Chains A and B, each alone.
Chain A
């Protein structure tokens, strides 16, 4: 028995979503002036026992006070320029930060391997083991100093860059406090929330869909109130669908469109002020936007002939043949869409044996593209074959009803004893009925079409 097999990929994009709840938040670092008013190249934030310490915190001389580039992340590094070869922690009279020979006390520090980044530098004044007059003398005298991290080169002799805070040290006890960084404000949060939930959806369908209004909320206020936006900063929004900026979608609200179906939406807030570092926040993504219809979309049928045998009996499908399942409608509240089975061409040149043939299809379950555990049985694809071309002795298979198709499914047969001068073309219509309880998304199945010699 000879057979010829073709695989037909059936891709169904079903834009229905059932996932409920999507509003989450994202935070950003505190906005600070790019170069601090005190001359520090950038902000230095302090942590004590692993937690951010506000500027009012009083530190002991031997406290392990850790320097970071962010108020929210102790591992946020302090960046030295590429040319720097080493780093140091230092305590200096204000104004002497960039003159190593004037530092009151200092200690060597190190970079994260392979970088010029200083991570979690310990600014404990007692740990500054070098310098004149030295840490102990500073402790005794007290006063106003700068404490921070220096980037060095030229074997440690050249100060490339310094990051520091103004500190005030109490004589004798060594207790100290650090002045605030230039600008610091409560970290806002950015959230996407949804308005006007579409009435077509039952509660189980409560998630964004096309034509919904999405709101960018800073803290809990749409677009942010004056107190939510850092003083002196402007805020701008940009909306994204699957990570791609949506043209002209730059308002604090965004109304989803049909093209958003199946995509996740995010919004980015950018706070800007001349002379200050931008603060950029991006919200968490929504669930995939569902379409208005319960089931809609396209079924693409791609077929490639993998194995055509010796030319006596063969099967072919036009390269890149496609069929669209569209025009979904609700029939008894089931989404139903239809399309065409592409041409399957059977050529039987066996003029001597005249064996006849069967053309049969098998199919895998439709699997959701982003969650293959969610499947729709292949039985839901109804098939109504049709034949054309040379049809002598050929009969089309019995049409199946969506939901009850069984495989292998016979598309067409030719009885023995006939000789066909021309190919037989088998095509037909496809009907796809999605179960009501399946979430939206793109579903894919593969039809394997085989021609068997009788």
Chain B
């Protein structure tokens, strides 16, 4: 995340700070490439997926998702250098930053078309770059649009929940609760509501963020205010300068004392448990569900089942893949790729145990050697379904 910010500053400043530009040149040097499949997309899932494919001992066992033909995988964070190379003998393309951006890239890879990131800080010199053969799997904190003619198949990865982080001077109610209606008003720069909660700057993540799109659409639903859209928020960002601001998803390290921002409960748990690097700063996690906090405990911090089960604020997270490559009747079928999405192989990318969310009455436990145990350490519970929808 910080690398990205440095890069953005350099790009904006151009030649006037050539020293800094030179300073980031090594970050643009060649990074390792994948031995098999390349994973890009959501910030929300990047640490959990990264740990699974790089190998992790966070459960005290050694857990690593590898392919059935003994290759390792590689997963690229949503942020970092502005461009990446994912496979041997391929060329650089813009780093997909977020779920939507990742799906855009995968669709371009499937269609053989060119890809341009929606991220404002992208390296424009790489706009419209071919990505065929460079991307295999996309991490998604949002589910995409279900469509019978969709080109991607999605699999659930685990259950996350959306909450918000707030600065030290913000004054929510019990459990850190602020009603969705009031959160909407704050993002609409309603001065009375902002004042009532001690907020000066509601913050939204960068464009292309799955958490951003989920946060806004769910707030619109929960508040009953159908006018509340991404476009409206951006209007407030651009025309009501000083109210809404844009920050990097899940990075609360620079969140001001009077600011709020959407925050994935899973990312928060991973940060607080030391499973992920800590970008919580001095912020606190709030709640959008009356009567319950999103997380509990301090060491370790655990998901609160009631919050994750909430039909609005709990959310399934996904992995997306070219549907043809996981369809055994298709000429493009790749059994090795398909095996990564098994719901029964205890060390697949998608393993979440035998029980779906709705059947849980308490937090589940998993063998330390399983993917599900790793996911739990990263704040993910089993998803509500073992999904195999087609999406666009």
- Residues in A lying within 8 Å of B, measured CB to CB: 49-50, 61-62, 64, 66, 74-75, 87, 105, 107-113, 118-122, 124, 126-129, 134-136
A128 and B60: CB pair below 8 A? no
In B50-85, which residues have CB < 8 Å from any A CB? 55, 57, 60-64, 66-72
Contact A120 B70 (CB under 8 A): no
Q: In the complex, A127→B346 CA distance in Å?
A: 13
The answer, among B57, B60, B61, B71, for a CB contact under 8 Å with A129, is B71
In whole angstroms, what is the CA distance A128 to B64 when docked?
10
CB contact under 8 A between A124 and B62, given known A50-B367, A129-B71, A136-B69: no
**From B57, B72, B347, contact of A110 by CB (8 A):** B57
A113 close to B68 (CB less than 8 A) = no
Contact B368 A119 (CB under 8 A): yes
Question: 1/0 per position for B325-350, CB-CB distance to A under 8 A?
Answer: 00000000000000100000111000
Q: How far is the CB of B265 from chain A (nearest CB, A)?
A: 25
Question: Which of A87, A120, A121: most chain B CB closer than 10 A?
Answer: A120
In the bound complex, what is the Cα–Cα distance between A128 and B347 (angstroms)?
14
Per DSSP, chain B at the interface is: loop
Listed residue (A62, A66, A75, A119) with the most chain B CB atoms within 10 angstroms of its CB: A62
Tell me the smallest distance from the CB of A47 to a CB of chain B, in Å.
Answer: 9
- Cβ distance A322 to chain B, nearest Cβ, rounded Å: 49
In the complex, which of the residues A74, A75, A111, A124 contacts B57, with contact meaning CB atoms closer than 8 Å?
A111
**Chain A hits for B368, CB < 8 A:** 75, 119-120
The reply to whether B367 and A66 form a contact with Cβ atoms under 8 Å apart is yes
The yes or no answer to B369 lying at the interface (CB within 8 A) is: yes
Q: Chain B residues in contact with chain A, CB under 8 A?
A: 35, 55, 57, 60-64, 66-72, 339, 345-347, 367-370
Q: Give bound CA distance, A64 to B368, whole Å.
A: 12
Q: Which of A49, A87, A105, A110 contacts B346 (CB 8 A)?
A: A49
- A110 in contact with B55 given A62-B339, A119-B368 (CB within 8 Å): yes
Choose from B67, B70, B72 the contact partner of A134 (Cβ within 8 Å).
Answer: B70
How far does the alpha carbon of A110 sit from the alpha carbon of B63 in the complex, in Å?
A: 9
Q: B61 contacts which of A49, A50, A119, A136 (Cβ < 8 Å)? A: A119
Residues from chain B with Cβ under 8 Å of A120 in the complex: 60-62, 367-369
Residues of B within 8 A of A108 (CB): 55, 62
Quote the shortest CB–CB distance from B46 to chain A (angstroms).
21
Cβ of A26 to closest chain B Cβ, rounded Å:
24
Contact (Cβ within 8 A) A64 B345:
yes
CB-CB nearest 7 A-B residue pairs = A110-B57, A120-B61, A135-B70, A120-B369, A109-B62, A110-B62, A112-B60
Which residue in chain A gives the minimum CB-CB distance to B70?
A135
CB–CB B61/A121 < 8 A: yes
User: Which chain B residue lies CB-closest to A137?
Assistant: B70
17 contacts between A and B (CB under 8 A): A49-B346, A62-B68, A62-B339, A62-B345, A64-B346, A66-B61, A66-B369, A108-B55, A112-B60, A113-B57, A120-B62, A121-B369, A122-B62, A122-B63, A127-B64, A127-B70, A129-B71
Q: Shortest CB–CB separation between residue B38 and chain A, in angstroms?
A: 16
Which residue of chain A has the shortest Cβ distance to B373 in the bound complex? A120
- Name A88's closest neighbour in chain B (CB-CB): B62
How many angstroms between the C-alpha atoms of A111 and B59 in the bound complex?
Answer: 11
Interface centre among B35, B61, B346 (most CB of A within 10 A): B61
Q: How far is the CA of A64 from the CA of B65 in the complex (A)?
A: 11
The 8 Å CB contact of A126, one of B35, B68, B369, is B68
Residues of A within 8 A of B370 (CB): 64
A67 nearest CB neighbor, chain B only: B369
**CB-defined contacts of B61 to chain A, threshold 8 Å:** 66, 119-122
Question: What residues of chain A lie closer than 8 Å to B55, measured between beta carbons?
Answer: 108, 110
Closest to B339 in A: A62
**Complex Cα–Cα for A266 and B289 (A):** 53
A113 to B60, Cβ gap below 8 A? yes
* Interchain CB contact under 8 A, A121 and B68: no
Contacting residue for A128 out of B35, B62, B70, CB 8 A: B70
Taking the closest CB of chain B, its distance from the CB of A335, in whole angstroms, is 48
**For A124, what are the chain B residues with a Cβ–Cβ distance below 8 Å?**
347
Closest Cβ of chain B to A128, distance in Å, is 6
Q: Which residues of B contact A109 (CB under 8 A)?
A: 62
Taken together as a complex, chains A and B put the C-alpha atoms of A380 and B58 apart, in Å, by 60
A112 nearest in chain B by CB position: B60
Q: Complex Cα distance A40/B189, Å?
A: 69
Contact residues in A for B345 (Cβ distance below 8 Å): 62, 64
Nearest CB of chain A from residue B230's CB, rounded to whole Å: 42
CB-CB under 8 A from B67, the residues of chain A are: 126
Report how far A300 CA is from B339 CA in the complex, Å: 74
Question: Known interface pairs A129-B66, A129-B70. Does A64 touch B57 (Cβ–Cβ under 8 Å)?
Answer: no
Contact status B70-A136, CB under 8 Å: yes
Q: A61-B68, A122-B63, A134-B70 are in contact. List 14 more A-B contacts (CB 8 A).
A: A62-B68, A64-B369, A64-B370, A66-B369, A75-B368, A118-B62, A119-B61, A120-B62, A122-B64, A122-B347, A126-B70, A127-B64, A129-B66, A136-B69
State A118–B60 Cα separation when bound (angstroms). Answer: 8
Task: Output the least CB separation between B335 and chain A (Å).
Answer: 11
Task: Tell me which residues across on chain B come within 8 A of A121, comparing CB atoms.
Answer: 61-62, 369
Q: What is the minimal beta-carbon distance from B353 to any residue of chain A, in angstroms?
A: 11
- Asked whether B66 lies within 8 Å of A127 as measured between CB atoms, the reply is yes
- Tell me the complex Cα distance, A66–B63, Å: 11
Contact of A127 among B57, B60, B347, B367 (CB under 8 A): B347
User: Given the complex, which residues of B lie within 8 Å of A129, measured CB to CB?
Assistant: 35, 66, 70-72
Chain B: CB-nearest residue to A128: B70
- Bound-state CA distance A5–B69 (Å) is 84
- A398 CA / B339 CA spacing, docked (Å): 90
User: A126 touching B346 by the CB < 8 A rule?
Assistant: no
A118 to B63, CA, bound (A): 12
Closest CB of chain B to A350's CB: distance in Å?
A: 62
A49 to B370, CA, bound (A): 10
Enumerate chain B residues within 8 angstroms of A66, measured Cβ to Cβ.
Answer: 61, 367, 369
Contacts of A110 in B (CB 8 A): 55, 57, 62
Chain B residue nearest in CB terms to A125: B70
Min CB gap A200→B, angstroms: 48
